[in-house]
Chains A and B, each alone.
Chain A
């Protein structure tokens, strides 16, 4: 599936829920399937700055695809990073760098996060793209 196809699937899944409490329940569920970062990578350097809770993110290349793993100390933050990993993991660096991620607005995620949290979301996306750029140069 392309990134856009995965985004479309997420938009459809979120459309089922009317109430934002239900959408949060879904986000929390997604967090439970988060590909967890290895303990060795849970370092100070891998903490994403700009989030109100602690979010650790790691990326590595497998064949020519970028694979992300992460963890967070807050459950909702864990769900949100899981959502982003769902869409961006196992893609080429180019695809990640060029991803527009329109699903974030389409499901209304941005407006339902407090500004600091939405900054956290922005910081997560930025960090994932930085990894893609770095891994792209390394090849």
Chain B
């Protein structure tokens, strides 16, 4: 089925995009940090609190049944979007960070001193620190796949980095700071040959293109609701059923138990074993709605539009003297990090903000990447499919004005 993609129709569904910053229309290019929300998601949240609110999995009363059904249906929507085999493999979390901590603390508890964890030089801090923490506790070794000047992983040495002691390979699908799309299929295959399990940080990928966890054969995948048009404070951990079953629970409390006596507790089945306490119910339902909405769009057309925006902005930025783009991988998502020689990113960010342009400046929670390039930070423009060529023109003009003021 071919659907027509109209950026204006899409924009009309995002009320916040009508915002003015002073006298300037908002140009929102900070989608890597969080995405905006379509009206259907906002309505869904409103509807939940207006007409459906009740705790789930606990009551026989009508509202509890309604909200339990909606929450569990959201899980099924997400299962379908990821093409997971079973809905039990979909665990609700607080977000990407929470999902990685869950794996590190739970799977990590099964590891022994000397076991190795392999991550990469381009990870977000949330895919570094949890591993360093468990490594310190249990005497594990954290190793890094290096990258090249273009911001691509150097895979020539992968076979040496993967050893018989490698138990986990955890890496980002798409770099939030550089936009690089990593060849995860290859890495998953190589890791599996050594018997290691693979965690994919999909925080920056699922909002741009579809992934199929069964085709990829990754063991775990984590992402955040707020970056994929859903609410904040909710995310997903996908894990293969046998692995999740083998892992010890991470947090104890209500909902995750089968029986509790003064002496001992038996744990509930998946997915509830990893969902202690009252969850972010409206978050889960809202995320389900966001993914249902996203699935209704023509994902190929969306990707074509984003690639177009990336190419257009890259060409325009490259024409600015002394501007350097960080992250020039052959495979990139619609994110551009850059610096302009002789100017400070905070000056640029501040003057862009005055002209209605929202970009991110700083290290983007990826200090090892900044160390690699020996820079303190970058200016990052990250596009979503609701952005337009006209907005890029506005951004470039605003940037030129800022540069004129700073020179």
Interface residues, chain A, with chain B CB atoms under 8 Å away: 20-21, 24-25, 28, 52-53, 73-77, 112-114, 117
Starting from the known contacts A20-B22, A28-B405, A53-B347, 20 additional A-B residue pairs (CB-CB under 8 Å) come to A21-B355, A21-B401, A21-B405, A24-B350, A24-B351, A25-B405, A28-B406, A73-B344, A74-B346, A74-B347, A75-B343, A75-B347, A76-B347, A76-B351, A77-B344, A77-B346, A77-B347, A112-B354, A113-B350, A117-B350
Number of A-B contacts (CB under 8 A): 42
Q: With a CB–CB cut-off of 8 A, which chain B residues contact A113?
A: 350
Closest approach, in angstroms, between the C-beta of B367 and any C-beta of chain A? 14
How many Å lie between the Cα of A75 and that of B351 in the bound state?
A: 11
Cross-interface CB contact of B344 among A21, A25, A53, A112, cutoff 8 Å? A53
- How distant is A83 from chain B, measured CB to nearest CB, in Å? 15
**A20 and chain B: residue at smallest CB distance:** B354
Query: Which A residues are in CB contact (< 8 Å) with B22?
Result: 20
Determine whether B25 belongs to the interface, using a CB cutoff of 8 Å to chain A: no
Nearest Cβ in chain B — how far from A111, in angstroms?
A: 11
B337-352 toward A: CB 8 Å interface, digit per residue (1/0)? 0000001101101110
Report yes or no: B354 in contact with A74, Cβ–Cβ below 8 A.
Answer: no
Which B residues lie within 8 Å of A25 (CB)? 405
Looking at the assembled complex, report how far the CB atom of A1 sits from the nearest CB atom of chain B, in whole angstroms: 29
A20 to B361, CA, bound (A): 20
Report the nearest B residue to A77, measured CB to CB.
B346
CB neighbours (8 Å) of A76 from chain B are 346-347, 350-351
Beta-carbon nearest neighbor of B344 in chain A? A74
Q: Are A117 and B346 in contact (CB under 8 A)?
A: yes
Determine whether the beta carbon of A114 is less than 8 Å from that of B353: yes
Nearest to B351 among chain A residues (CB) is: A24
B130 within 8 Å of A (CB atoms): no
Q: Are B354 and A21 in contact (CB under 8 A)?
A: yes
A21 touching B351, Cβ below 8 Å = yes
B405 adjacent to A24 (CB under 8 Å): yes
